[in-house]
């Protein structure tokens, strides 16, 4: 069974930082694109950051404009784990964050419909 387990969310004040982790089992992550998505209250799910190849070359990393310079996506294929470092958090970052994976051969874009496997999500709440 393929499982993605997101963790690391919590309550933080504006300007603070969190590091989300996603542990993957049931597949070899070195063959997969990975991504982080979020859904805020009253909003549709959106792609936050994705690595569209299997390693993370510079040309294949996407960040939503509003998180550029604040969030960093990374992966450790040997540990079958992916991460999202979030710095200088803002109240508008409050959302449920999901990790996802999809076969890298498809070079998926950072959109919900392009990813096949999903974690359960972890809540991030940023207070002002």
73-85 pLDDT, tens per residue?
Answer: 999 999 999 999 9
User: What average pLDDT score do residues 4-30 get?
Assistant: 96
Q: Is the pLDDT of residue 42 over 70?
A: yes
pLDDT of residue 127: 97
User: What average pLDDT score do residues 60-65 get?
Assistant: 95
Average pLDDT in the chain: 95
| pLDDT category of residue 56 using cuts at 50, 70 and 90 | low
Percent residues over pLDDT 90 in the chain: 86
pLDDT of residue 106: 85
User: What average pLDDT score do residues 40-55 get?
Assistant: 92
19: Cβ contacts below 8 Å, ≥ 6 apart: 8, 83, 84, 85, 86
pLDDT of residue 59: 75
| pLDDT category of residue 51 using cuts at 50, 70 and 90 | very high
Long-range contacts of 53-60, Cβ-Cβ distance < 8 Å, separation of 24 or more: 53/104, 53/107, 54/29, 54/30, 54/104, 55/30, 60/107
pLDDT of residue 55: 75
Percent residues over pLDDT 70 in the chain: 98
């Amino acid at each position: 069974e393929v499982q993605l387990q997101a963790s690391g969310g919590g309550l933080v004040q504006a300007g603070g930082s969190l590091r989300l982790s996603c542990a993957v089992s049931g597949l070899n992550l070195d063959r997969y694109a990975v991504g982080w998505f979020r859904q805020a209250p009253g909003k549709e799910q959106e792609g936050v950051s994705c690595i569209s190849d299997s390693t993370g070359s510079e040309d294949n990393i996407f960040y939503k404009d509003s998180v550029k310079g604040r969030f960093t996506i990374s992966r450790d294929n040997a540990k079958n784990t992916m991460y999202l470092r979030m710095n200088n958090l803002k109240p508008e970052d409050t959302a449920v964050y999901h990790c996802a994976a999809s076969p890298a051969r498809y070079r998926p874009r950072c959109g919900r419909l392009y990813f096949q496997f999903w974690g359960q999500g972890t809540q991030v709440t940023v207070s002002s």
